[in-house]
């Protein structure tokens, strides 16, 4: 489930509505675009309905950790996955509810800013604990498979912190969202001891969307992680608080009105299980293709969608595009109309390599046990846009003929 966030425009202060995955924020009032950058998890607060006589600077905020993402795992001869979307208490306390339930989805939440004057309870549960719990679910899910785990990958995950507002009146601790008592007496005093005031490092900061190379305006959609300059044909990603240019290309089509979908082309070699070229990939995964001399000359690249999709579609598309790479032609650095936003980070794409190997393997029983000793070494990365025909309900890739339902692509924007 996606969250709706209300936030003030960093340029004019008007109140605007955002979605959880939004990074490029265009204000509908002043029309200024800003790119949101955060260090560590984003911090949100639920709206409170505390009575007016409660002094806001005396309020407390309890942390809940929200984890969203997909786990792909290999066990025995199976590649499986699980979608995780969970919010759990971020501190050890028996008086606070273990989870926020559906409240974050049902309410308008806000980013924590310096206007929140109360005290924040310290997060004592580490994010790692949530990952461990999530990975425990894969054990439960696959109990009927009597074999070993060979790989686990977390792809497209995001972690955020949502604070539940609380207040104390006459020694009783209240949940300020629903104004119901939670606890009283000594347990309330223990809670109060470990708290901090707002810290400026908790808030995201905003970058002006100007091309560092030519000064023109960078473009992108609300959820774009990579911004484009259509003037000097460059692509930019945010790193350590600034925009850095990335290698990119677009495979040019002979046809008009094509839709361009981005892929991370990750050129690698593998040790442990030696793979230095595309021919070796085809042999190790037993592809039903005749390996040709040209395949021996081709480097090994994985083609991972640079946009979010449901796990099954994501891994299948990554595998099919990787297997079909011999059909793709070289690209050039020219921007075009109809470029789909990059919504999956390159670092997330890297996590997918072993799962793509597993999906590609015709003989999974033989290949999956090799995964633990496979080590991938990155040689080059390039963001590559591939042209797709618009065929009504589907997009069809020009060179490979692979198709992708539009509904699946739309759904991916809300993941
Ligand atoms: Zn504005
Ligand atoms: Zn430029």
What DSSP line would sit under 220-278, residue for residue? --TT-SEEEETTTTEEEEEETTEEEEE-EEEPPPSSSS-EEEEEEEEEEEEETTTB-BH
CA of 400 to the centre of ligand 2 (A): 32
- Side-chain half-sphere CA neighbours of 202 within 13 A: 20
Average pLDDT of span 286-294: 93
Query: Which DSSP string corresponds to 126-137?
Result: -HHHHHHHHHHH
Assign 150 a pLDDT band (cuts: 50, 70, 90). very high
Per DSSP (E only), the strands in 24-59 are 24-26, 33-37, 42-45
Contacts of 368 (CB under 8 A, 6+ apart): 74, 76, 77, 78, 79, 150, 151, 358, 361
Same domain for 399 and 256?
A: yes
Same domain for 44 and 161?
A: yes
The pTM of this model reads: 0.92
* H-run or E-run covering 335: none
Same domain for 133 and 69?
A: yes
Q: What percent of the chain has pLDDT over 90?
A: 70
Same domain for 251 and 198?
A: no
Ligand nearest 16 Cα, by number? 1
Same domain for 196 and 312?
A: no
**pLDDT for 322-333, tens place per residue?**
999 999 988 999
Q: Is residue 56 part of a domain?
A: yes
Ligand nearest 236 Cα, by number? 2
Nearest-CA neighbor of 313 among 372, 395, 220?
A: 395
Q: Is residue 12 part of a domain?
A: no
Ligand nearest 333 Cα, by number? 2
The span from the CA of 385 to the CA of 338, in Å, is 10
CA of 216 to the centre of ligand 2 (A): 5
CB atoms within 10 A of CB 392: 6
Ligand nearest 14 Cα, by number? 1
Structure tokens at 216: 């023109």
Q: Which of 203, 221, 236 is the last residue of a domain?
A: 203
CA of 9 to the centre of ligand 1 (A): 5
Owning domain of residue 325: 247-412
Q: Is residue 174 part of a domain?
A: yes
Ligand nearest 11 Cα, by number? 1
Same domain for 197 and 251?
A: no
Same domain for 78 and 136?
A: yes
CA of 208 to the centre of ligand 1 (A): 13
Ligand nearest 12 Cα, by number? 1
Q: Find where tokens 């409170």 sit.
A: 48
Structure tokens at 74: 């290999």
Q: Is residue 347 part of a domain?
A: yes
38-42, 49-53, 185-189, 358-362: least confident range: 185-189
Same domain for 298 and 384?
A: yes
Q: Report the helix count and the strand count for the chain, using DSSP H and E.
A: 10, 23
Q: Is residue 114 part of a domain?
A: yes
Q: Which of 141, 173, 203 is the last residue of a domain?
A: 203
CA of 7 to the centre of ligand 1 (A): 11
CA of 23 to the centre of ligand 1 (A): 15
CA of 236 to the centre of ligand 2 (A): 10
Q: Which of 169, 203, 237 is the last residue of a domain?
A: 203
CA of 13 to the centre of ligand 1 (A): 6
Contacts of 212 (CB under 8 A, 6+ apart): 236, 242, 243, 245
Assign 212 a pLDDT band (cuts: 50, 70, 90). very high
Same domain for 199 and 256?
A: no
Ligand nearest 32 Cα, by number? 1
Name the domain count of the chain. Answer: 2
Q: Is residue 91 part of a domain?
A: yes
Q: Is residue 29 part of a domain?
A: no
4-18, 203-217, 351-365: least confident range: 4-18
Ligand nearest 232 Cα, by number? 2
* H-run or E-run covering 412: helix 406-412
Q: Is residue 214 part of a domain?
A: no
Ligand nearest 217 Cα, by number? 2
The span from the CA of 317 to the CA of 164, in Å, is 40
CA of 161 to the centre of ligand 2 (A): 35
Same domain for 397 and 326?
A: yes
**pLDDT for 49-58, tens place per residue?**
999 999 999 9
Alpha helices (H) in 289-384, listed in sequence order: 293-297, 311-323, 346-350, 353-360, 364-367
Same domain for 93 and 191?
A: yes
DSSP label at residue 370:
G
Same domain for 185 and 308?
A: no
Assign 162 a pLDDT band (cuts: 50, 70, 90). very high
């Amino acid at each position: 489930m996606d969250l709706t966030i209300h936030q003030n425009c960093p340029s004019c202060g008007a109140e605007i509505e955002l979605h959880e995955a939004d990074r490029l924020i265009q204000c509908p009032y002043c029309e200024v675009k800003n790119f949101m950058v955060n260090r560590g998890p984003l911090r949100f607060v639920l709206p409170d309905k505390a009575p007016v006589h409660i002094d806001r600077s005396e309020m407390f905020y309890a942390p809940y950790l929200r984890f969203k993402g997909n786990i792909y795992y290999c066990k025995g001869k199976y590649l499986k996955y699980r979608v995780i979307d969970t919010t759990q208490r971020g501190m050890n306390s028996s008086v606070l509810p273990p989870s926020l339930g559906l409240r974050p989805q049902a309410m308008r939440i806000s980013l924590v800013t310096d206007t929140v004057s109360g005290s924040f309870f310290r997060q004592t549960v580490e994010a790692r604990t949530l990952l461990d719990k999530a990975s425990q679910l894969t054990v439960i899910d696959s109990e009927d498979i009597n074999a070993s785990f060979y790989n686990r990958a977390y792809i497209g995950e995001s972690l955020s912190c949502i604070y539940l507002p609380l207040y104390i009146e006459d020694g009783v601790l209240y949940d300020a969202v629903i104004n119901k008592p939670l606890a009283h007496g000594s347990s309330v005093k223990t809670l109060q001891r470990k708290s901090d005031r707002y810290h400026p490092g908790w808030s995201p900061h905003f970058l002006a969307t100007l091309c560092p190379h030519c000064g023109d305006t960078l473009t992108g959609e609300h959820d774009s992680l990579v911004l484009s300059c259509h003037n000097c044909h460059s692509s930019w990603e945010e790193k350590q608080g600034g925009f850095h240019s990335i290698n990119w290309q677009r495979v040019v089509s002979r046809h008009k009105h094509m839709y361009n979908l981005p892929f991370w082309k990750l050129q690698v070699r593998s040790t442990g299980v030696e793979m230095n070229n595309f021919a070796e990939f085809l042999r190790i995964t037993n592809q039903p293709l005749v390996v040709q001399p040209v395949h021996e000359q081709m480097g090994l690249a994985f083609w991972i969608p640079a946009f979010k999709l449901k796990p099954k579609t994501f891994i299948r598309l990554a595998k099919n595009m990787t297997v079909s790479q011999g059909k793709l032609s070289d690209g050039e650095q020219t921007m075009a109309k109809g470029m789909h936003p990059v919504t999956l980070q390159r670092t997330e794409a890297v996590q997918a390599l072993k799962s793509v190997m597993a999906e590609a393997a015709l003989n999974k029983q033989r290949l999956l046990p090799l995964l633990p000793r496979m080590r991938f070494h990155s040689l080059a990365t390039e963001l590559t846009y591939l042209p797709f025909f618009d065929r009504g309900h589907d997009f069809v890739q020009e060179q490979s003929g692979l198709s992708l339902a539009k509904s699946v692509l739309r759904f991916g924007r809300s993941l």
